[in-house]
Amino acid sequence: MEEVGTMNEFKEFFSSEGLAQNLASDIALILKNSIETEGKATLLVSGGNTPKLFFQKLSNINIQWEKVTIGLVDERWVENDSKDSNEVLVKENLLKNLARKAHFVGLYVKGLSAESAQNISSKIYENEFEKVDVLVLGMGTDGHTASLFPNNERLKEAYDLTNENFCISIEPTTVPYTRMSLILKKILEAKNIILHIEGKEKLEVYNSAINANDIYKYPISSVLNQTDKKIKVYYS
């Protein structure tokens, strides 16, 4: 068995600007190559404040955006015009400029609770994202990734690699809103998995997650410490 953490490729940048530009360029190249070889490309992204600048940089890169489908790694279960919605974040920061031609697929299902919508969201994403070219994760200072929060009662189900659902509803105890999140299996099936983190506090959490290898205390460990898929880490 490989030593824990050896599957990670760590890229450090001196500024958020430098990271955002490099990350956007690297992802655009992957999407472009997929379009050239398969006629289409897919991208799943995370919410929060960290990816805003990267989204803006990516939106200005000239590729065949009309052949790109963009979706979410997770979503807060709020109306999809709410300022707290990841869908709104992506539409305001990524689906503009040249990238306005991309096709977006949200996780939110209006009129249903997250638990009731779990199967519907899963089927939609199974159809739209049968193949994921790039998946970009974030990480919280508590070690959560996507909406897989520490010690949550549904983590065991989310980690089950025989789970056939694409996503799972999560009720966090430490933050607002019920969530919909991709399960671990679907995260790891992406062809290219990227973790985007910024700041010394998150670097300390990243190092703790690798060294502790406790997937319930640090859900990001479930992604970082597996040995089947290389994870590219972009840090500034």
Q: Is the pLDDT of residue 115 over 80?
A: yes
Question: Both tokens of residue 33?
Answer: 């190559």
Confidence of residue 4 (pLDDT cuts 50, 70, 90): very low
Q: Could you tell me if 28 and 59 are in contact, meaning their C-beta atoms sit under 8 angstroms apart?
A: no
Please name the residues in contact with 195: beta carbons below 8 A apart, sequence gap of 6 or more: 136, 137, 138, 139, 145, 206, 220, 223, 224, 231, 232, 233, 234
Write down the pLDDT at residue 3.
40
Ordered by where they begin, the domains of the chain are 8-235 (3.40.50.1360)
Q: Is the pLDDT of residue 89 over 70?
A: yes
**In this predicted model, what pLDDT tens digit does every residue of 203-222 receive, in sequence order?**
999 999 999 889 999 999 99
Write down the pLDDT at residue 168.
98
Please name the residues in contact with 70: beta carbons below 8 A apart, sequence gap of 6 or more: 42, 43, 44, 45, 90, 94, 95, 102, 103, 104, 105
- Whole-prediction pTM value? 0.96
Strand partners, 9: 232
Q: Is the pLDDT of residue 7 over 80?
A: no
Strand partners, 69: 42, 103
Q: Could you tell me if 16 and 196 are in contact, meaning their C-beta atoms sit under 8 angstroms apart?
A: no
**In this predicted model, what pLDDT tens digit does every residue of 175-186 receive, in sequence order?**
999 999 999 999
**In this predicted model, what pLDDT tens digit does every residue of 20-67 receive, in sequence order?**
999 999 999 999 999 999 999 999 999 999 999 999 999 999 999 999
**In this predicted model, what pLDDT tens digit does every residue of 120-174 receive, in sequence order?**
999 999 999 999 999 999 999 999 999 999 999 999 999 999 998 999 999 999 8
Please name the residues in contact with 59: beta carbons below 8 A apart, sequence gap of 6 or more: 93, 94, 95, 96, 97, 98, 99, 100
